Every structure is written in structure tokens, then in C-alpha cells.
Amino acid sequence: DAMVIQNPRYQVTQFGKPVTLSCSQTLNHNVMYWYQQKSSQAPKLLFHYYDKDFNNEADTPDNFQSRRPNTSFCFLDIRSPGLGDAAMYLCATSRELRGALSYEQYFGPGTRLTVT
Amino acid sequence: EDQVTQSPEALRLQEGESSSLNCSYTVSGLRGLFWYRQDPGKGPEFLFTLYSAGEEKEKERLKATLTKKESFLHITAPKPEDSATYLCAVQATGGFKTIFGAGTRLFVKA
């Protein structure tokens, strides 16, 4: 089945120790998104890629970076995690054309990040 | 500023007791409004997309409707397996930024 896969499902890191979360997709979608979701809160968009074009949200901390080496893979790098970065990180994909109707996003299962 | 507000925060129903969830939105131009279901510890699962006022979509016990300012998710004769958090999201014209509401946590008791 076509899907969005996130690894690892659970990640524990130490305060200030860099961490990388990964996302892969078999849907061949051109747009990939990274969201941060804290307990009982709305998913908050951090950034997205339209093909290779990177779009950073204005309020995404500089501590968060992303890479998309090819269509299938996308990575979220947290350079110096703080206690406030503990959250569920969700990867999503969609197929989009600029100026066309918006299409639904397909989400991975998420990575639960704990910072100690 | 684009914004999405969902109400109520939580809703407790008896099995078979129909109700509606509300999503109020403010957006410069609506490109699409989405409803997702999220189970604990999992990623959101797509339910519906609505594009213009007056549009309605149905799937099993769920029906989504859209006006110029809000959307409703109607749940008819819910079952315990409908218990989940229901998220509303909007995309504005001109880009792909997606804004989610905080969700309504639905509990259906047998």
C-alpha cells in the first residue's frame, strides 16, 4: 500500500544534542510538510517543500531545519533541542498544482520526541 | 490573520445521539477546507474536502457542510468507534500553508 512512513516512531534525545527525524513516501506526491503537534493542540506547520522549493513558516525557530534530497524522502533536523521542543512531529504529503484546487494531505504516524 | 477555531473542545455523546461539531474560520481567500480524524498517538486521517459555500459531503455517519464563515461536521447515530479527535484545517489561496484548529475530542459511550 502507498503510504507515508516516519522513523523512528519514538525518539529520546538530550537537551542540546542534535537529532534528525525522517519521512519517506511511496505516493509520489510533490509536496511534503512537517508539522509540530503538542498535546491537545493543533498541528503547527513548520515548513513545506513544493517539489524542491523550500518554504519556511515565519515563526518556525531557526533551530529547525529540513532537507529533501529527492521526491521520496524528507528530513527534519533539530540542531539544539530544548525542553520546549518535545512534541509529536508529523510528516504529510499531498499532490498539488499552483493555482489549482487544494488536495488532501496524507499523514505519517508521527515521531514522538522526548527531550531529557 | 488566518485563523481556525473549533468548538466544542470536547463532546460526550451516548451511542445513537446525533450532534454537530463546529469549525469557524477566517481566511483571506479559501482554497480548501479539510476535516481529519485523529486517533490517540496517530497521524490525522483525511475525511473530507470542501471548496465553496453550500457544498456538502457525506461518508457513512458523517456529513460535512460549508458556509462562508464556518463548517459543520454532523455525526448521525454515532457509535463508540467514532470516538476520536476531529480536526478542521484550511488552506488559503496563494500558497500551501495549512492552518489547523485545535480539534474537538469526541467521546461516544455505548
Instruction: Convert the pLDDT of each residue in A55-107 to its tens digit.
Output: 999 999 999 999 999 999 999 999 999 999 999 999 999 998 776 777 899 99
Whether the CB of A109 is below 8 Å from some CB of chain B: the reply is: yes
% of chain A with per-residue pLDDT over 70: 97
Among A31, A33, A51, A53, CA closest to A43 = A33
Residue B34 has pLDDT above 80, yes or no: yes
Residue B88 has pLDDT above 90, yes or no: yes
Residue A32 has pLDDT above 90, yes or no: yes
Q: How far is CA A108 from the centre of its chain?
A: 9
Distance CA B65, CA B74 (A): 8
Instruction: Convert the pLDDT of each residue in B50-72 to its tens digit.
Output: 999 999 999 999 999 999 999 99
- The chain B residue lying nearest A47, using CA atoms, is B97
Q: Using a CB-CB distance cutoff of 8 angstroms, which residues of chain B are in contact with residue A103?
A: 32, 49
Helix (H, G, I), strand (E, B) or coil at A83: helix
% of chain A with per-residue pLDDT over 90: 89
Q: What is the pLDDT of residue A59?
A: 92
Distance CA A42, CA A79 (A): 24
Residue A43 has pLDDT above 80, yes or no: yes
CA A48-A8-A64 angle, 5° bins:
40
Distance CA B43, CA B27 (A): 25
Q: What is the mean pLDDT of residues A27-31?
A: 93
Distance CA B58, CA B74 (A): 9
Residue B49 has pLDDT above 80, yes or no: yes
Question: Which of residues 45 through 84 in chain B touch A, CB cutoff 8 A?
Answer: 45-46, 49, 51
Residue A2 has pLDDT above 80, yes or no: no
Residue A1 has pLDDT above 80, yes or no: no
User: Which amino acid, B69?
Assistant: K
End-to-end CA distance of chain A: 36
Flag if A101 and B31 touch (Cβ within 8 Å). yes
Whether the CB of A36 is below 8 Å from some CB of chain B: the reply is: no
**Residue A33, min C-alpha distance to chain B (Å):** 9
Among B110, B108, B107, B102, CA closest to B22 = B102
What is the DSSP code string of B39-98?
-TTS--EEEEEE-STT-EEEETTEEEEE-SSEEEEEE-S--GGG-EEEEEEEEETTS--E
Q: What is the mean pLDDT of residues A21-42?
A: 95
Residue A8 has pLDDT above 80, yes or no: yes
Distance CA B79, CA B40 (A): 17
